[in-house]
């Protein structure tokens, strides 16, 4: 279902809209946020220098550190009297990044979410259960308001209490699950542990999943476990939360709400803008934010862009699945390793569950990687031959993909704590 005609505009029309809004956004940010006045002065530019989309590259980047260094309200463009909502990141590694919303910002946010859930197939006929944590995190309330805009009945379950989550899904006839991919997969395993077959005993048809990157192997497993269609969406608090992009049934990338966001791909080392189709770091400029306008935000997420026609009928640019981050790549004994590579192997291995933890440490001067992972059936741990065969399979497949030999620890099903928000997949003790 296409929610808005803005999703099917001619490419030239989209560029004209973006150009007009970009010039307005640059002027607005410059006039109302001292931080951007300083940034422009340092770069030797003024707002009038930005006349086309190609001029965007003249503008300095904004980073997460800029938000933290101006905590809490140093990047705000409006007085508190105009703020109707605050959200923030967790701030686990320093001050949280705080964003605000005016009534206008909230209206646009709802529109962007309505488009994304409609892409996934959710309509007023559906009951959507939100298993994100409610609070300063943007995911739950962001999706909540967009789902209500399309007329879906919302179950604001929040995260945790997994057995009750399953009971409500069953008793209330929930048809759409809103969660992180890892928690959605965990819930399917909890349902199975309760003697339920999610495919036949529950009615979940759609998964609207976000907040963390996942692999195609995870999507396949989600679809198999639930009998659902799992769709990803993308956003982050600094950009206003979820709503930047989302997947359609064609699954050829996430359609960007281009009348509200400009996306670029840069070389993360040089900052140079890369041609369409090349993989690099995503940089996003929102075109609507009144409370906290942001210019060229470096997301650190690795993806690529594609403006070719999509079979769904939308003409908006698509971003490919996030394959990693510029700051989560692990270097193990000189080898570059992304956690997504490990996840792909684990989730495509029969007998291996969805919950895992990668621990990197030093043994003397050498790097050491340990991976704790649940099995799907505890009987696999009962005999030495079964255990050895499964261990050997996992180790060989990981070595083929990574070129290194991590130590694998197989543990009982559901014995590892499931993440209720963004899954913590890596602990790097070398940084301690």
Give yes or no for a contact between 374 and 414, defined as CB atoms under 8 angstroms apart.
yes
For the entire predicted model, the pTM comes to 0.84
* Max mean pLDDT range (280-289, 324-333, 419-428): 280-289
- Tell me the β-bridge partners of 101: 85
- Which whole number is the average pLDDT over 182-191? 91
Token duo for residue 152: 């879906």
Give the 3-state secondary structure of residue 88.
Answer: strand
Give 392's contacts (C-beta < 8 A, 6+ positions apart). none
For 273, which DSSP code?
Answer: B
- Pick the closest to residue 375 from 396, 352, 345 (CA basis): 352
- Which whole number is the average pLDDT over 371-394? 89
- Give CA separation, 114 vs 12, 172, 257, in Å: 24, 23, 11
Query: Over 50: is that where the pLDDT of 69 sits?
Result: yes
- Pick the closest to residue 177 from 220, 215, 210, 221 (CA basis): 210
Give yes or no for a contact between 137 and 421, defined as CB atoms under 8 angstroms apart.
yes
Give the 3-state secondary structure of residue 371.
Answer: strand
Domains, in order of start, for the chain: 3-325 (3.40.50.12780), 333-426 (3.30.300.30)
Angle at CA 159, nearest 5°, toward 95 and 426? Answer: 55
- Give CA separation, 243 vs 275, 301, 378, in Å: 24, 16, 40
- Which whole number is the average pLDDT over 413-424? 80
Query: Over 60: is that where the pLDDT of 91 sits?
Result: no
- Pick the closest to residue 406 from 416, 414, 398 (CA basis): 398
Q: What is the pLDDT of residues 227-270, one digit of tens each?
A: 999 999 999 999 999 999 999 999 999 999 999 999 999 999 99
pLDDT of residue 92: 45
- Give CA separation, 259 vs 12, 115, 116, 263, 278, in Å: 12, 12, 14, 11, 22
Give 94's contacts (C-beta < 8 A, 6+ positions apart). 68
Give yes or no for a contact between 325 and 337, defined as CB atoms under 8 angstroms apart.
no
């Amino acid at each position: 279902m296409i929610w808005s005609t803005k999703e099917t505009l001619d490419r030239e029309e989209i560029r004209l809209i973006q150009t007009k809004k970009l010039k307005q956004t640059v002027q607005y940010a410059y006039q109302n946020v001292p931080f951007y006045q300083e940034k422009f002065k340092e770069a030797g530019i003024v707002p009038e220098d930005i006349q086309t989309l190609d001029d965007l590259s003249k503008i300095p980047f904004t980073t997460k550190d800029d938000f933290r260094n101006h905590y809490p309200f140093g990047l705000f463009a409006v007085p508190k009297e105009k703020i109707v909502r605050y959200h923030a990141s967790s701030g686990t590694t320093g001050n949280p990044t705080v964003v605000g919303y005016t009534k206008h910002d909230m209206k646009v946010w709802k529109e962007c979410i309505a488009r994304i859930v409609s892409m996934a197939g959710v309509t007023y006929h559906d009951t959507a259960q939100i298993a994100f944590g409610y609070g300063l995190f943007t995911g739950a309330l962001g999706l909540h308001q967009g789902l209500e805009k399309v007329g879906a009945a919302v179950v604001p379950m929040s995260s945790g209490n997994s057995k009750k989550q399953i009971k409500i899904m069953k008793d209330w006839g929930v048809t759409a699950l809103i969660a992180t991919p890892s928690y959605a997969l965990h819930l399917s395993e909890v349902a199975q542990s309760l003697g339920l077959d999610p495919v036949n005993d529950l009615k979940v048809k759609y998964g609207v999943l976000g907040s963390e990157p996942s692999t195609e192997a995870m999507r396949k497993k989600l679809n198999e476990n639930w009998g659902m269609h799992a769709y990803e969406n993308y956003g982050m608090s600094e950009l206003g939360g979820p709503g930047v992009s989302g997947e359609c049934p064609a699954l050829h990338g996430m359609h960007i709400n281009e009348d509200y966001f400009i996306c670029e791909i840069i070389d993360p080392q040089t900052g140079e803008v890369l041609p369409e189709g090349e993989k690099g770091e995503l940089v996003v400029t929102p075109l609507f934010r009144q409370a906290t306008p942001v210019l060229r935000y470096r997301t650190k997420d690795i993806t690529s862009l594609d403006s070719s026609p999509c079979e769904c009928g939308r003409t908006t640019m698509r971003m490919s699945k996030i394959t990693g981050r510029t700051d989560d790549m692990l270097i193990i004994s000189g080898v570059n390793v992304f956690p997504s590579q490990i996840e792909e192997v684990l989730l495509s291995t029969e007998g291996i569950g969805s919950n895992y933890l990668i621990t990197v440490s030093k043994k003397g001067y050498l790097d050491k990687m340990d991976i704790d992972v649940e099995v799907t059936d505890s009987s696999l741990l009962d005999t030495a031959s079964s255990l050895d065969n499964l261990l050997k399979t996992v180790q060989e497949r990981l070595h083929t993909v990574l070129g290194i030999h991590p130590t694998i620890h197989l543990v009982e099903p559901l014995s590892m704590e499931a993440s209720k928000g963004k899954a913590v997949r890596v602990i790097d003790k070398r940084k301690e």
